[in-house]
């Protein structure tokens, strides 16, 4: 299952970039169903993807801190009709005139449902395992969307 694969397992991993790093700041919406520990671990997962390429991703309030690019991370419930994506999407970036907007929408309910669908038959999974799976799934989804 892709969710549990280690990034180091992929052949041809890029060499770390030396020199000035790009700083990306994410501002998480209050409406996003993500508590502080999950946000922290999701940010760590996003950085596991981007730091080898010289990109650092931080969570911050909008307008606070030195950042080269600001991206808002919002709940799917905050999406306007023109921001719509396929109903099955866990995360997406809306485009305007073939350019990505600086917002990522996330459906936490879809992420949780996917993890539950692959859960133990008795429906019991330790909370730490659920947290780890949500971290990996949402972190990798968010890292992908930042790439747009």
| pLDDT tens column, 99-147 | 888 999 999 999 999 998 887 766 688 889 999 999 999 999 999 999 9
User: How many angstroms separate the Cα of 102 from the Cα of each of 105, 110, 113, 129, 143?
Assistant: 10, 22, 26, 31, 13
In this prediction, residue 57 carries a pLDDT of: 94
Query: Comparing 116 with 12, which gets the higher pLDDT?
Result: 116
Is 65 strand, coil or helix? coil
Mean pLDDT of the chain: 84
In this prediction, residue 85 carries a pLDDT of: 85
CB burial of residue 118 (10 Å; 0-12, 13-18, 19+)? exposed
């Amino acid at each position: 299952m892709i969710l549990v694969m280690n990034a180091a397992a992929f052949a041809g991993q890029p060499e770390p970039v030396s020199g000035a790093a790009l700083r990306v700041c994410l501002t998480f919406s209050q409406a996003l169903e993500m508590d502080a520990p999950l946000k922290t671990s999701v940010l760590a997962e996003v950085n596991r993807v981007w730091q080898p390429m010289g990109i650092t991703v931080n969570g911050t309030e909008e307008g606070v801190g030195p950042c080269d690019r600001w991206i808002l991370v919002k709940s799917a419930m905050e999406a306007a009709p023109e921001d719509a994506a396929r109903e099955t999407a866990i995360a997406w970036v809306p485009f305007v005139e073939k350019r990505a907007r600086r917002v990522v929408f996330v459906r936490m309910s879809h992420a949780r449902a996917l993890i539950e669908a692959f859960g133990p038959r008795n429906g019991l999974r330790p909370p730490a395992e659920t947290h780890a799976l949500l971290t990996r799934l949402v972190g990798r989804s968010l890292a992908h969307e930042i790439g747009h």
